[in-house]
Amino acid sequence: MSMQDSVSDMLTRIRNGQFSKKIYVIVKFSKFKVSILEVLKKEGYIKDFLIDKKIKIFLKYYNGNPVIEHIKKVSKPSLRVYKNKKNIYKVINGLGISIISTSRGILTDFEARKLGIGGEILCNVY
């Protein structure tokens, strides 16, 4: 069985891993996934990740509850969602983030608005 959307698979593994209180989850390696994980780490949603043929993502908890309460893919292979700089929305009035693929790399919604660029909305996290 071939995987159509590997980013969606990674997000689902993170969601399921946190639901079952796992310490870490393992996903296949890709540079695109590493870019998304760097944003999640920088924003404090995951502890860390290690790269060795596969990616080992260390999940983060606070008082026994997952830090990521909600993680959902927005743009899908069948329906890509693009927003220009004026139409990038805030997730829960700025409490969450949107991860956006732009011409300058993978950025959060705040960084994209600050730089004045739009792009493909990959996922929402809060």
The domain boundary residue, chosen from 44, 66, 88: 66
Domain enclosing residue 21, as ranges: 6-66
Q: Are both 81 and 104 inside the same structural domain?
A: yes
Is 123 in contact with 74 (CB distance < 8 Å)? yes
pLDDT at 94: 87
pLDDT digits (tens, 9 = 90+) for 57-77: 999 999 999 999 999 999 999
Residues 62 and 82 in one domain: no
Which residue from 79, 60, 1 is spatially nearest to 9, judged by alpha carbons? 1
103: its two tokens: 């011409």
Confidence at 3, pLDDT banded by 50, 70, 90: low
Number of domains the chain is built from: 2
Q: 98 - beta bridge partners?
A: 124
Place of tokens 């693009």: 82
Which CATH number is 31's domain given? Answer: 3.30.1370.30
Provide Rg for the chain, Cα atoms. 14
**pLDDT digits over 28-46, tens only?**
999 999 999 999 999 999 9
